[in-house]
């Protein structure tokens, strides 16, 4: 791989959802998207833009955070990059290769799995409840590498070490593990195929504060050790400051600001970023109301 090719490049990404008839407000809300037009009207709009013209680049070994609140479209961006959603427009370029959505055979998906992996938010539903941790890692390794069993076993041990799990835990089912441990398993599984880019979709949002710190440290250790690039999808600017080099701020499907993390979080240019930053509880903080947030219209039920 050439070093100056960006690990991941997203150009003019767009996602529209078709909305059928009235009474579709719930569907809209669950996809976590901005709605065009007025939802309380009888006839709902026929199309809704969840992601609108989003572009960014993640260099090899760098970490980019996509920040926004529910309905910002940040999760949809992640889902399009890993192929769980089909973009309406725009391009996703991974390691210099443009992705097409027309040929998604299993061979092609297997190749892509070695480029981009994802860790989801909920550690309780992102592991197969009936598969031991070892079997889960074994399955991915056997799929991607034509290795003898000893080498696969050795690699499993190595992955477990890397994410800080012991061997005894590896023979148990996910239900015997705590939320933080499960998230470590999810990270190990994602790393198993040795991807260039690891997407963390609110990967620490549902963890306890003390566990969150452990996992954030783990993620930075992994980046140091493997040179993997990160795409962090997060609503939490404090977390983002800790783990990212660059930031893209999204709101209602559009990018409002982007730049180096340090710069954006020290001197946010956009009023929305400023408001987002001001809303984080910190020493000496007092809640203030943001009157210009506009009327809250759509019920926001996105979990992120």
Partner 1 sequence: MSVLDLEHLAVDLPVEGRLRRVIHDVTLSIAQGEAVGVVGESGAGKSMTSRAVLRLLPHGATVEGEVRFEGRSVMAMDRTALRDYRLSDVAMIFQDPRAHINPVRTVGDFLVEALVERGDAKADALRVVTALLGVVGISDPQRRVKQYPHELSGGMLQRVMIASALAIEPKLLLADEPTTALDVTTQSDVMVSLDTQRRERGLAMLFVTHDLELAAAVCDRIAVMYAGFLVEDIPASQLHRGVQHPYTAGLLASRPSPTVRERRLFAIAGRPLSAYEVGDGCGFASRCAFANDRCRSERPALRVVGASRVACHRSEELSGQLSSHNIREATHD
Partner 2 sequence: MTSSLASRGPLSRVRSRRSGSRVDTVVVVTGAFIALLVITAVFAPWIAPSDPNFGSILSSNQGPSAAHLLGTDSFGRDILSRLIYGARLSLLGPALIIVISTSIGTVLAIACAWFGGWFDQVVSRVADILFAFPGLILAMLAVAMFGPGLVAPVIALSIAYTPYLLRVIRSEALRQRNLPYVAACYVGGLSARTICTRHILPNVTPLLIVQATLSFGYALVDLAAVSYLGLGVQPPTAEWGIMVSTGQSSILAGHPQESLFAGVMIIVTVVAFNLLGDRLAARQSTGQS
Instruction: Indicate whether 189 belongs to the interface with partner 2 (CB under 8 A).
Output: yes
Judged by CB under 8 A, which of 33, 126, 181, 304 binds partner 2? 126
Instruction: Indicate whether 182 belongs to the interface with partner 2 (CB under 8 A).
Output: no
Residues paired with residue 57 on neighbouring β-strands, in sequence order = 9
Cβ contact 115:190 at 8 Å: no
Cβ contact 301:29 at 8 Å: yes
**How far, in whole angstroms, is CA 107 from its chain's centroid?**
24
Instruction: Indicate whether 139 belongs to the interface with partner 2 (CB under 8 A).
Output: yes
Judged by CB under 8 A, which of 20, 42, 43, 130 binds partner 2? 130
Instruction: Indicate whether 205 belongs to the interface with partner 1 (CB under 8 A).
Output: no
- Min. distance of Cβ 82 from partner 1 in angstroms? 24
Cβ contact 44:2 at 8 Å: no
d(CA 263, CA 248): 12
User: Which of partner 1, partner 2, none binds 100 (CB below 5-8 Å, type-dependent)?
Assistant: none
Please count the other Cβ atoms lying within 10 Å of the Cβ belonging to residue 206. 18
Q: State the pairing for strand pair 8-18/246-251.
A: unpaired
Q: State the pairing for strand pair 229-234/197-201.
A: parallel
**Contact letters for partner 2, residues 4-43 (x by CB under 8 A):** ----------------------------------------
Measured in Å, how far apart are the chain's first and last C-alpha atoms?
Answer: 34
User: Which of partner 1, partner 2, none binds 161 (CB below 5-8 Å, type-dependent)?
Assistant: none
Q: Which residue, 155 or 275, has its beta carbon nearer to partner 1?
A: 275
User: Which of partner 2, partner 1, none binds 26 (CB below 5-8 Å, type-dependent)?
Assistant: partner 1
Q: Give the footprint of partner 1 on residues 160-199 (CB under 8 A).
A: 178-181
DSSP for residue 99: P
d(CA 300, CA 76): 15
- Give CA separation, 46 vs 20, 24, 109, 130, 170, in Å: 6, 10, 32, 41, 48
Q: How many residues of this chain interact with partner 1, rule: CB under 8 A?
A: 53
Joined together, the tokens standing for residue 146 give 């034509």
Instruction: Indicate whether 155 belongs to the interface with partner 1 (CB under 8 A).
Output: no
164: alpha, beta or left, given left = phi > 0 and alpha = psi -120 to 50? left
120: alpha, beta or left, given left = phi > 0 and alpha = psi -120 to 50? beta
Binding segment (CB under 8 A) for partner 1, from list 7-15, 46-54, 165-173, 284-292: 284-292
User: Which of partner 2, partner 1, none binds 111 (CB below 5-8 Å, type-dependent)?
Assistant: partner 2
Q: Which residue, 70 or 162, has its beta carbon nearer to partner 1?
A: 70
**Contact letters for partner 1, residues 241-260 (x by CB under 8 A):** xx------------------
Q: Which chain residues interact with partner 1 by CB under 8 A?
A: 25-26, 40, 69-70, 178-181, 208-214, 216-217, 220, 235-239, 241-242, 261-262, 265, 275-290, 293, 295-301
Q: Which chain residues interact with partner 2 by CB under 8 A?
A: 82-84, 106, 109-114, 116-118, 120-122, 125-131, 139-140, 143-144, 186, 189-190, 192-193
């Amino acid at each position: 791989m050439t070093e100056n090719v960006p690990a991941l490049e997203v150009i003019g990404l767009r996602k529209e959802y078709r909305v059928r008839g009235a009474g579709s407000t719930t569907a809209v809300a669950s996809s976590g998207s901005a709605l065009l037009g007025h939802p309380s009207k009888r006839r709902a709009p026929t199309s809704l833009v969840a992601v609108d013209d989003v572009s960014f680049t993640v260099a090899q070994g760098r970490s980019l955070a996509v920040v926004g609140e529910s309905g910002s479209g940040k999760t949809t961006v992640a889902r399009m990059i890993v192929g769980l959603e089909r973009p309406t427009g725009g391009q996703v370029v991974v390691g210099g290769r443009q992705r097409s959505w027309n040929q998604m055979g299993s061979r092609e998906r297997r190749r892509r799995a070695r480029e981009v992996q994802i860790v989801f938010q909920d550690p309780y539903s992102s592991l197969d409840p009936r598969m031991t941790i070892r079997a889960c890692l074994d399955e991915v390794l056997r799929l991607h590498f034509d290795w003898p069993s000893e080498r696969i076993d050795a690699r499993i041990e190595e992955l477990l070490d890397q994410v800080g799990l012991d061997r005894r835990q590896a023979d148990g089912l996910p239900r015997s593990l705590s939320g933080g441990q499960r998230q470590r398993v999810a990270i190990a599984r994602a790393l198993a195929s040795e991807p260039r880019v690891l997407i963390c979709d609110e990967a620490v949002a549902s963890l306890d504060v003390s566990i969150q710190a452990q996992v954030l440290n783990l993620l930075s250790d992994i980046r140091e050790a493997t040179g993997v690039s990160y795409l962090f999808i997060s609503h939490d600017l404090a977390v983002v400051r800790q783990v990212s080099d660059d930031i893209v701020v999204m709101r209602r499907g559009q990018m409002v600001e982007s730049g180096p993390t340090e710069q954006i979080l020290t001197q946010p240019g956009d009023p929305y970023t400023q408001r987002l930053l001001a809303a984080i509880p910190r020493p000496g903080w007092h809640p203030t109301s943001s009157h210009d947030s506009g009327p809250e219209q759509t019920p926001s039920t996105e979990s992120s």
